[in-house]
Structure 1
Amino acid sequence: MAQREAIATFREAARIARDQKLTPYLVQAALEFDTAETFLEGSGNASLALLEEALAETDAEESVEHCRLLSRLVRTVHMTGAREQSSEFALQAVALARRLNDLPSLFDALACELMHVGALPLSADSFVQRANVLLELRHIAETLGDAHTIGHACARCLAGYLEIGQVDQFESALERYRQIAASGQHFVDKWCVTGAQAMRAILVGDFAEAERKTRDSLQMAQSADANLATGVYGMQMFSIRREQGRLAEVAPIFKRFIDDAHSEDTTWRPGYMLICSDLGFEAKARDNLDRLSESAYGVPMDSKRLVTLAYLAEVAARLRDVGHAERIYALLLPFRDQAVTVPVFTLCCGSAARFLGMLAHALGDWSSAEQHFEYALHMDERLRAWPWLAHSRHEYALMLTARNRIEDRRRAQDLLALAAAEARKLRMFALVERIGGAQSGAGTRN
């Protein structure tokens, strides 16, 4: 069923249930309408009022119907921007679901915790707790036995696992999701799996496979008129082309997105700014960075927050702009332990610590930079994120070369050699060229 037909059907069912004062049917229609809107449009705006209306009708607070509506509201309220209210709903929903032993409600409430991936900091001390939530979510889904629920659990867990560096569990969730998608008829599952396979291919540096999967995912989503497709495709192709040294091909697309958007829309500007920086247009990159700084860098409190900060960090570090570097460093520092991940199945750019190391290098804080880069090497290797490990080695080598202690020189040469070998193997032509310049500079210095 096409997107708009599904949404219209559930909206009409809700109207009939409301007119006939059939509360159980109103609850079911509200839940189905919310599923259709949030998964296909990604906004939740239209379903929010209907969920709240149905919640008001279920005045018995210990009822299963009330619990399921409350659990679903956690996600939908979060998507519409009221995140503090969403957190309050989450506490109520989890507690009520556990009291009632209602697994569907508990599933919805726990799944909503994963909507904070990429939006809120997560310290290493919290990794075990996050892993337990991921495990419980998948266990509940398998217990319920519904293929759609299992697929939903796997999709939500993908970015959650990568954020804390659990790549084996990521692979397990992706394989289980692939099985569900292959045996079912839901286009959403097939689309998400294909996008997740592109995400994985980017993570390990198989850029040819990543491009094939990215294009397949876009084609599937367009056939169903899903609005999320353009953003996922744009971020994935940007990452692929950047590593291939082909950013000039996507620069006009990003520029068009910015020109077509409202002036206050900063969604695509950080990526375009990074393109300008990579291609040598430093004045344009600096101008965009200055404009973003006027609104606290326009960093949204959503799943794109961490990757946006990472892009800003790269530009500020390359421009050696101390003022911007200091402010962005402060924004990024709370994320230092986790990987830069864009859910549900979009992107993982390796350790956030690499970007902090770059900023600390720009600020001349050698001790902090060293600590960040050492952590980044560990996290990137743990993720088997070979492209990002190459980048971490390269940036660490640049810092060591700049610090220029006797013991730094040998380490910098070793790191550059490892980075260059990996970059050539993965056909990361932009990094190969950049490392060549770094090695020439190091040779001149020595």
Structure 2
Amino acid sequence: MAQLAYQRQGSMDKAAASELNEAAVEMARASDDDQALCEALNLRCAALSGPGLGERRVRDADELLRVSSSGGLTEIGLFAYRWRLHSALETGDMETADRELAAYDAAVDRDRVWSGRWYGLTVRAARAMAEGRFGSAERMVMESFAHRGNDTTPLVIGTFAAQLFWLRREQGRASEVQHLRKHDSPHVAFRVLQMMIDAELGHADRAREALQAAVEAEVVGLSVDYTYLYVLSALAETAVMVEDDGCARVLYERMLPYAGDYVNLFLGPLQLGSASRYLGRLALTFGEPGMAGYHFAHALDANRATGSHLWLAHTRLDWATALSGQGHAARVEARELLRPCLAESRERGLKRIARQAAELLDALRD
């Protein structure tokens, strides 16, 4: 029943899905079957996505950990740490996220679940990338893939593909991973990677066609699960790159309730900063620079608070871009944003952002 509720999230209203999840958990409790209860709680954690649901997910994760520990169900018990970590990342609570990741690694070592080591490495790689430490991020991405053992499930392979693309994109080396476009996965979180690669490499028409089809056919029926915000953010990036204002408006409305959240994929292997930045980029795409500025202001504070130097630099550049087409006062403000953006990008080796910031700063000189 829990699996049915999870699978049908995109085709039924949230209240009905919630009732089905509740019934599945209560049925598992009544059966006195620890394995069934753990599976039902794990699936309900996956289904609990949306503003204000993080605390509920943590409570379910706490119960999952208690039941799995008492029943000796070590592997499914590891998901409790992942859900608590995901909830912390979603709200930008990096101190709690670090604590949960350390607890996860300790549990993997204690219970000798060596196959679980790859996950911890992927999360650390994501943090390194968000902080602008590309060399460390690349090393850990490759190391995590080596730790996968014989696991060639779509989740493991797809996570590696997504991490490698976003990293190479920031390094200005996206052409090196164009082969990832051939990666086949049933999950929309990875299919959206294909259109992003097309857009990044200049195949705008093909990317736009795929984007419009996805927005029309999938966004309305997309499962509102733990991948939802990432998928919307990746679609948003594609809409910005191909300058599709119609898709940008649809995606903006879908993302707006998540303005205060942080974007991450599959419980942490990609950490893409404040959702407000993507809202700002969408607003700029459909011609609302004032609205974009409002979101960029929030994203600036949010990304600074989490030490996400990469996304902080991006936000400064985005906001400066929004201001650059306005009056004299706005252009002065744009230059004030670009100076620290350029300085920090050069200091941290964020070459792609540094180049773009320098070009825009030159264009704004009176």
Secondary structure of the corresponding residue to residue 228 of structure 1: helix
Q: Are the equivalent residues in 2 in contact too, given 1:163–1:341 (CA < 8 A)?
A: yes
Aligned pair 1:236/2:163, yes or no? Answer: yes
Residues 278-357 of structure 1: pairs in structure 2 closer than 5 A: 278-296=200-218, 300-301=222-223, 302-357=225-280
Question: 1:137 maps to what in 2?
Answer: 61
Q: Are the equivalent residues in 2 in contact too, given 1:270–1:311 (CA < 8 A)?
A: yes
**Distance change in 2, residues 1:277/1:430 (3 Å):** farther
Secondary structure of the corresponding residue to residue 148 of structure 2: helix
Aligned pair 1:203/2:130, yes or no? Answer: yes
The CA distance in 1 between the partners of 2:190 and 2:307, in whole Å, is 28
Q: Are the equivalent residues in 2 in contact too, given 1:198–1:214 (CA < 8 A)?
A: yes
**Distance change in 2, residues 1:296/1:132 (3 Å):** closer
**Distance change in 2, residues 1:385/1:77 (3 Å):** farther
Aligned pair 1:121/2:17, yes or no? Answer: no
Deviation at 1:315, TM superposition (A): 3.0
Q: Are the equivalent residues in 2 in contact too, given 1:394–1:415 (CA < 8 A)?
A: yes
Aligned pair 1:437/2:359, yes or no? Answer: yes
Q: Are the equivalent residues in 2 in contact too, given 1:203–1:385 (CA < 8 A)?
A: yes
Q: Are the equivalent residues in 2 in contact too, given 1:198–1:211 (CA < 8 A)?
A: yes
Question: 2:304 maps to what in 1?
Answer: 381
Q: Are the equivalent residues in 1 in contact too, given 2:141–2:160 (CA < 8 A)?
A: yes
Deviation at 1:285, TM superposition (A): 3.4
Secondary structure of the corresponding residue to residue 153 of structure 1: helix
**Distance change in 2, residues 1:305/1:421 (3 Å):** same
Q: Are the equivalent residues in 2 in contact too, given 1:306–1:340 (CA < 8 A)?
A: yes
Question: 2:95 maps to what in 1?
Answer: 168
Deviation at 1:341, TM superposition (A): 1.5
Deviation at 1:162, TM superposition (A): 0.9
Q: TM-score, normalised by structure 1?
A: 0.70
The CA distance in 2 between the partners of 1:367 and 1:98, in whole Å, is 52
**Distance change in 2, residues 1:312/1:82 (3 Å):** closer
Matching residue within 270, 277, 296 for 2:199: 277
Secondary structure of the corresponding residue to residue 341 of structure 1: strand
Q: Are the equivalent residues in 2 in contact too, given 1:107–1:137 (CA < 8 A)?
A: no
Unaligned runs of 5+ residues in structure 2 are: none
| Post-superposition CA distance 1:178-223 (Å, at most 9, x none) | 1122233213322222222222222322222222222222222242
Matching residue within 159, 174, 182 for 2:86: 159
Deviation at 1:245, TM superposition (A): 0.8
Deviation at 1:396, TM superposition (A): 1.0
The CA distance in 2 between the partners of 1:410 and 1:104, in whole Å, is 61
Question: 1:5 maps to what in 2?
Answer: none
Q: Are the equivalent residues in 2 in contact too, given 1:114–1:157 (CA < 8 A)?
A: no
**Distance change in 2, residues 1:106/1:426 (3 Å):** farther
Q: Are the equivalent residues in 2 in contact too, given 1:397–1:411 (CA < 8 A)?
A: yes
Secondary structure of the corresponding residue to residue 147 of structure 2: helix
The CA distance in 2 between the partners of 1:80 and 1:93, in whole Å, is 13
Q: Are the equivalent residues in 1 in contact too, given 2:192–2:234 (CA < 8 A)?
A: yes
Aligned pair 1:399/2:322, yes or no? Answer: yes
Deviates more, 1:299-308 or 1:90-99: 90-99
Deviation at 1:309, TM superposition (A): 1.9
Question: May I ask how many residue pairs the two structures share in their alignment?
Answer: 358
The CA distance in 2 between the partners of 1:367 and 1:99, in whole Å, is 54
Matching residue within 90, 95, 99 for 2:21: 90
**Distance change in 2, residues 1:299/1:233 (3 Å):** farther
The CA distance in 2 between the partners of 1:327 and 1:133, in whole Å, is 28
Q: Are the equivalent residues in 1 in contact too, given 2:5–2:20 (CA < 8 A)?
A: no
**Distance change in 2, residues 1:299/1:316 (3 Å):** farther
Matching residue within 139, 144, 148 for 1:212: 139
Deviation at 1:397, TM superposition (A): 1.1
| Post-superposition CA distance 1:306-337 (Å, at most 9, x none) | 22222222232344333232222222223222
Q: Are the equivalent residues in 2 in contact too, given 1:110–1:133 (CA < 8 A)?
A: no
Matching residue within 410, 424, 428 for 2:350: 428
The CA distance in 1 between the partners of 2:63 and 2:227, in whole Å, is 28
Deviation at 1:237, TM superposition (A): 0.7
Secondary structure of the corresponding residue to residue 344 of structure 1: coil
Question: 1:54 maps to what in 2?
Answer: none
| Post-superposition CA distance 1:145-164 (Å, at most 9, x none) | 66656533112222221111
**Equivalent AA in structure 1 for residue 268 of structure 2:** F
**Equivalent AA in structure 1 for residue 235 of structure 2:** L
Residues 52-131 of structure 1: pairs in structure 2 closer than 5 A: 73-74=1-2, 76-81=3-8, 84=12, 87-92=18-23, 110-116=41-47, 120-122=49-51, 126=52, 130-131=54-55
Q: Are the equivalent residues in 2 in contact too, given 1:181–1:189 (CA < 8 A)?
A: yes
| Post-superposition CA distance 1:358-384 (Å, at most 9, x none) | 111122323321221111112212222
Q: TM-score, normalised by structure 2?
A: 0.83
Unaligned runs of 5+ residues in structure 1 are: 1-72
The CA distance in 1 between the partners of 2:263 and 2:169, in whole Å, is 17
**Distance change in 2, residues 1:435/1:116 (3 Å):** farther
Q: Are the equivalent residues in 1 in contact too, given 2:57–2:87 (CA < 8 A)?
A: no
Alignment identity in percent?
26
Question: 1:246 maps to what in 2?
Answer: 173
Q: Are the equivalent residues in 1 in contact too, given 2:89–2:268 (CA < 8 A)?
A: no
The CA distance in 1 between the partners of 2:323 and 2:277, in whole Å, is 14
**Distance change in 2, residues 1:439/1:101 (3 Å):** farther
The CA distance in 2 between the partners of 1:200 and 1:379, in whole Å, is 15
Secondary structure of the corresponding residue to residue 221 of structure 1: coil
